[in-house]
Amino acid sequence: MPVLIPTTLDATLDALAEHPHAQLLAGGTDFMVEVNFGHRRPDVVVAIDRLAELRAWTLDPGATTVTIGAGVTYREILQSPLGDLVPALAEAARTVGSPQIRSAGTIGGNLGTCSPAGDALPVLSALDATVELASRSGRRSLSVHDYMVGVKRTARRPGELVTAVTMRLLDGWQGYAKVGVRNAMVISTASACLAVDRPASDLRIALGAVGPTVLRARGAEAWVSAAIDWSRPAVTADLAAEFGRRVAAEARPIDDHRSTAAYRRHAVAVLAGRLLSRGLAP
């Protein structure tokens, strides 16, 4: 396979304009597995791991949003100060693979693969993140909800790459939890991210591995946001259980080689109830 190794974003966009269906290679932790199993043999590979433009993260001048470059690794995300700004993303990053995978794997690669079990994605969904894309035809921003269109399918166009992802910094608790067949080095059987926006008296919950894409349980969000007394938030066991039931009712899990739909539905109910209790603990 010819491998092009541009060192600037500009040169990358030129390479992608010439080879719009080229395979992008960031950390290679998803892509190289497919190559090794003979599942993928692209005509051209464009390596993007040398692009300084993708490896940075920035705060906007008012410190209300953070933009994380597509080439930022999980290792960088879970470190301070970035990890303190988006604690749920740091928590999710901590659960990805092993130290080696976290040092090589990138947030752009998680978005590129767009597996419903990708650990960064429920966090990006709960935080209503915006995916930044670039090609020789220009730049565009897409809500992460519009970017994820199906199982490992995205709205990315030929010749385009993800340059960054932007999210608002919320004033409120946020956390991520996942269930797998063991405690480490495991792909999620079910996962959830809960984020609280205290000034807006609003709570969001996004679910992973229980649908064709990561999905939000918007009915349960609206119900619990109205049920909570925001002047003195507290979570009873009954409230947590009912929230879990409502979240599970909105999941769309399937039976596959990793688990059953019934277990996944049960797991997201438990995760949602626990995250709610943790998030609104007095």
Ligand X SMILES: Cc1cc2nc3c(=O)[nH]c(=O)nc-3n(C[C@H](O)[C@H](O)[C@H](O)COP(=O)(O)OP(=O)(O)OC[C@H]3O[C@@H](n4cnc5c(N)ncnc54)[C@H](O)[C@@H]3O)c2cc1C
Q: Smallest distance, Å, CB 262 to ligand X?
A: 23
Dist CA 29 CA 35 (whole Å):
11
Give the number of C-alpha atoms closer than 13 A to the C-alpha of residue 116, restricted to the C-beta side: 23
Candidates 4, 67, 90, 97: give the one binding ligand X (CB under 6 A). Answer: 97
Q: What SS3 class is residue 201?
A: coil
Where does this chain touch ligand X (CB under 6 A) — which range of 4-12, 21-29, 76-84, 271-279?
21-29
Q: What SS3 class is residue 150?
A: strand
What is the bridge-based pairing of β-strands 65-69 and 161-168?
antiparallel
The region that residue 210 occupies, defined by phi over 0 for left and psi between -120 and 50 for alpha, beta otherwise, is alpha
For residue 81, say if its preceding peptide bond is cis, omega within 30 degrees of 0: yes
Q: Smallest distance, Å, CB 112 to ligand X?
A: 2
**Counting contacts by CB under 6 A, is residue 176 touching ligand X?**
no
Q: How deeply is 212 buried, as exposed, middle or buried, from its count of CB atoms within 10 A (0-12, 13-18, 19+)?
A: middle
Candidates 116, 118, 172, 273: give the one binding ligand X (CB under 6 A). Answer: 118
Which residues on adjacent β-strands are paired with residue 69?
164
Which positions from 41 through 80 interact with ligand X, judged by CB under 6 A?
Answer: 48, 70
**Counting contacts by CB under 6 A, is residue 279 touching ligand X?**
no
Which positions from 134 through 173 interact with ligand X, judged by CB under 6 A?
Answer: 156, 161-162
- DSSP H or E stretch at residue 66: strand 65-69
Where does this chain touch ligand X (CB under 6 A) — which range of 23-31, 227-235, 250-258, 271-279?
23-31
Q: Smallest distance, Å, CB 251 to ligand X?
A: 18
**Counting contacts by CB under 6 A, is residue 187 touching ligand X?**
yes
Q: Using CB under 6 A as the criterion, which residues of the chain lie in contact with ligand X when the complex forms?
A: 23-31, 33, 48, 70, 95-97, 101, 104-106, 108-110, 112-113, 118-119, 156, 161-162, 185, 187
